[in-house]
Chain A
């Protein structure tokens, strides 16, 4: 079982719709959860992070965390063609000796004009 799992996609949504990206993780001791956006040929760019159960909103983005279900999601409202990218879910362990993130393989989002 992969430590961080994401559907590779592509997830195709029309412009203006809500895009929903999902991620599950295997380590119950995970502490923090991150969403990065990566355009083709570019490096990952942080969108937001969440570490408490529930929702966290930042502009058009909402991260949702359910630790009991080991599930984290990212909602993108009013999707734009410029949101077309690969979205990487990353998880940080509670182990204070381990600061690196574990990444999923990413979900490719396509927003159709």
Chain B
């Protein structure tokens, strides 16, 4: 596998379920990100991890719980979600090259909360 991979690609869950999204980057990058993309809204940053340490949490509700066990893997644990949480969840990674730092996205997980 190359680049940034995400699993599952599609997920349907009820409001009482617990599920996890997985992201893996094969680019040797040191930062990873979770973004949420809802219909007709800009990409919203959720979390940033830099060398496995969380450096940003963009006021995300606690029903979303990130985990970064190492620089290559990132998880988003989901529990008691609401229908308005249905969206495309995108993982990205980057390497710190200053002004040249560029983020590369995974294919995303399309989440539907019933």
Contacts and interface: CB of A to CB of B under 8 A. Distances in A.
Interface of A: 4, 31-32, 34, 36, 41-46, 49, 51, 88, 90, 92, 97-106
A102 B45 CA distance: 8
A98 B103 CA distance: 13
Contacts of A102: 45
B42 A92 contact: no
A97 B105 CA distance: 21
A88 B42 CA distance: 9
B74 interface: no
Interface of B: 31, 33, 40-43, 45, 48, 50, 55-56, 88, 90, 94, 96, 99-108, 110
Given A43-B106, A92-B101, A99 B43 contact: no
A21 to B, nearest CB: 15
Contacts of A46: 102-104
Contacts of B107: 42-43
B101 A105 contact: no
Nearest to A88: B43
B59 to A, nearest CB: 13
B96 A99 contact: yes
Nearest to A31: B99
A32 to B, nearest CB: 5
Chain A CB within 10 A, most for which of B33, B42, B101, B105: B42
A43 B101 contact: no
